[in-house]
Chain A
Amino acid sequence: GENVEQHPSTLSVQEGDSAVIKCTYSDSASNYFPWYKQELGKGPQLIIDIRSNVGEKKDQRIAVTLNKTAKHFSLHITETQPEDSAVYFCAATGEAGTALIFGKGTTLSVSS
C-alpha cells in the first residue's frame, strides 16, 4: 500500500519569508496529491491539489510541484502571514477504492 513521508515536522518562519514542505510517496500508481491545512480545533481543509499529469500548480501565494520520477511533491508558500500558521498535511492516492493516505503533518508557525 501507499506510504507518505512528510518533512519537516515543524517549521518556524518570519512573516514575509517563504515556507517549503516536502513529501515523498511510495506507490508509483498514485496520481492525486492534495494538501490540507488544519487550523486549531477544526477539520483539515483542502488548499491546493495536483494530479499526475501536471508538474506544477499555483494559486496566489501557494504552489505545489510534483516530480513523478522521484516520487516527491512539495508545497511552497510565499510571503507568509501569521494566519498561515497551522498544521499542513500532504496526501496521496491512486488505486480505485483507496482512500487518501496522509503524511504526518507539518506544524508551521509564522511570527510577526
Chain B
Amino acid sequence: DTAVSQTPKYLVTQMGNDKSIKCEQNLGHDTMYWYKQDSKKFLKIMFSYNNKELIINETVPNRFSPKSPDKAHLNLHINSLELGDSAVYFCASSQDGGGPSGANVLTFGAGSRLTVL
C-alpha cells in the first residue's frame, strides 16, 4: 500500500502549456511538501502545507500554484511551462512541521519527472 503516491510518474509537454501533478498520502500526516530535484540531484523545498494551510512558500515563480483540498492531498499546478521547469518533482509528508520538538521525518513519493520541450 503506497504511503505517498504521485501522478503522473512521467510528463512530457511543450513550452507554454499548463500541467498538474497530483499527490496523495495515506499516512495520516498533517504536513505535505513539494520538493524540486534538478539535473544535478539538488533537492530544493518549494512549498509546505500544514493541514491545508500554506506555511512555506520559497522563492518560486508564481506560475507554480499548490493546492491542498484536504490534508491528505497536495497538488501542484504549473502555468506557462518553461524549459527550466524540467526536473523531478517530489511530494513528501511528515507528521508535523518541525520545530523544537523535532519530528520532521519525511516520507517521499517516487517522484514525477517533468520534461519540457
Question: Which residues of A pack against B, CB within 8 Å?
Answer: 31-32, 34, 36, 38, 41-46, 49, 51, 87, 89, 93-102, 104-105, 107
Contact = CB atoms under 8 A, between A and B. Distances in A.
B99 A51 contact: no
Contact of A99 (B42, B45, B108, B111): B45
Contacts of B55: 97
A37 to B, nearest CB: 11
Interface of B: 4, 33, 40-45, 48, 50, 55-56, 90, 92, 97-100, 102-111
A107 to B, nearest CB: 8
Contacts of A107: 41
A87 B108 contact: no
Contacts of A44: 43, 90, 106, 108
A13 to B, nearest CB: 19
Nearest to B111: A43
Contact of A93 (B4, B42, B43, B98): B98
A102 B33 CA distance: 14
Contacts, number: 77
A111 to B, nearest CB: 20
Nearest to B105: A46
Contact of A101 (B45, B92, B103): B45
Contact of B104 (A41, A42, A43, A100): A100
Most chain-A Cβ atoms within 10 A of its Cβ — which of B42, B50, B104, B107? B104
A80 to B, nearest CB: 20
Contact of A95 (B4, B99, B106): B99
Contacts of B40: 104
Which 6 pairs show the lowest CB-CB distances between chains A and B? A43-B108, A96-B99, A102-B43, A99-B45, A105-B41, A43-B110
Nearest to B99: A96
Given A32-B98, A95-B99, A105-B42, A42 B105 contact: no
B41 A100 contact: no
Nearest to A101: B45
Contacts of B100: 31, 94, 96
Contacts of A49: 105
